Amino acid sequence: MQLIVFAVGRMKKGPERELTGRYADRLDKAGPAVGLTWGGVTEIAESRAATGEQRKTEEAGPCLALGAERGTALIALDETGKSLTSNDFATRLSDMRDHGTRRLVLAIGGPDGHAPAVRDRADLTLSLGRMTWPHQIVRILLAEQLYRAVTILSGHPYHRS
């Protein structure tokens, strides 16, 4: 199953990008052994629309288009979503993979969050905590958890339960 991160907001050069890249590289190397491949990041600029609802709607279009392909699942990251342990997250990924999901899009919304259409389409709304995080930090956390999921599924000692 191919893993793709969709993100509203551009990641600039710097330590956040480097750390995200480090986990993505680890995922890219270790993932194929457990049937998970790294598909990269699709990022769009934040909308400049006048209202939050308009911005969310504009930002939703490319996300929904990416998730429209047959065999694609969508996880929307949102503070109101379900909080999972790392082991539970790894299990969710393996269940999706084992039930024929070919591609998984993990969507990081903009400052206004996700449009209702994205949350409605999502197979899972996932929370990394009830606090609001900048998208750069969310990318780091998500990349690390994807790599951690791969190590859990492969029995690697990186994760200690």
Annotation-wise, does 27 bind a ligand? Answer: no
Closest to 37 measured CA to CA, from 99, 130, 103, 132: 103
Q: Calculate the alpha carbon distances from 124 to 44, 82, 119 in Å.
A: 22, 8, 8
Annotation-wise, does 91 bind a ligand? Answer: no
Annotation-wise, does 55 bind a ligand? Answer: no
Annotation-wise, does 132 bind a ligand? Answer: yes
Annotation-wise, does 1 bind a ligand? Answer: no
122 within 8 A of 19, measured Cβ to Cβ: no
- Secondary structure letter of residue 131 according to DSSP: S
Annotation-wise, does 77 bind a ligand? Answer: yes
- Secondary structure letter of residue 10 according to DSSP: P
Instruction: State the binding site.
Output: 77, 109, 128-133
Instruction: State the binding site for S-adenosyl-L-methionine.
Output: 77, 109, 128-133
